[in-house]
Amino acid sequence: MYVKWDDSYSNGIEVFDNQHKGLFKLINDLHDGIREKKNREALGTALVALMDYTKTHFADEENAMRLAGYPDYEKHKTKHVAFIAQVSDIRDRYLNNEPVMTMELVALLVNWLKNHIQTVDRAYGPHLKASGA
């Protein structure tokens, strides 16, 4: 599943729109790697790059929400923690030589991120904007 940015993903906070675009690019890289049947090392590198960028992005978002006194900060952070746990599990299974690098994996990541960005990430936009983000 290839994912393409459009305005329905924008929450009006430039830094986070740009980070979300970066996440889409890394997911598409993983998608392309699987489709092109790249080797194990290349796919592992793509998965770790996505995971690392996601962690950095979540930390930046959580920091901004906390500083802005966003009321749904804790609830939002819980969703981030659950997603990282899910991706960590996939990485561990991959390191265990399980066949996890599939288009189903990409679809799962894409669906989670699209839904998250279009709902809870969009929800903090007005609050952060009002607090000067």
Cβ atoms of 19 and 55 within 8 Å: the answer is no
- Residue 116 as a binder of ligand FEO (CB under 6 A): the answer is yes
Nearer to ligand FEO, 29 or 121 (CB): 121
Q: Which of residues 19-48 bind ligand FEO (CB under 6 A)?
A: 20
In this complex, which beta carbon is closest to ligand FEO, that of residue 38 or of residue 116? 116
Tell which one of 10, 13, 27, 61 touches ligand FEO (CB under 6 A): 61
- Measure the CA–CA gap between 72 and 22, rounded to whole angstroms: 24
Compute how many other C-beta atoms are within 10 angstroms of the C-beta atom of residue 110.
Answer: 20
Q: How many residues does the chain have?
A: 133
- For residue 9, the Cα-to-chain-centroid distance in whole angstroms is 12
Residues in contact with ligand FEO by the rule CB under 6 A? 20, 57-58, 61, 76, 80, 116-117, 120-121
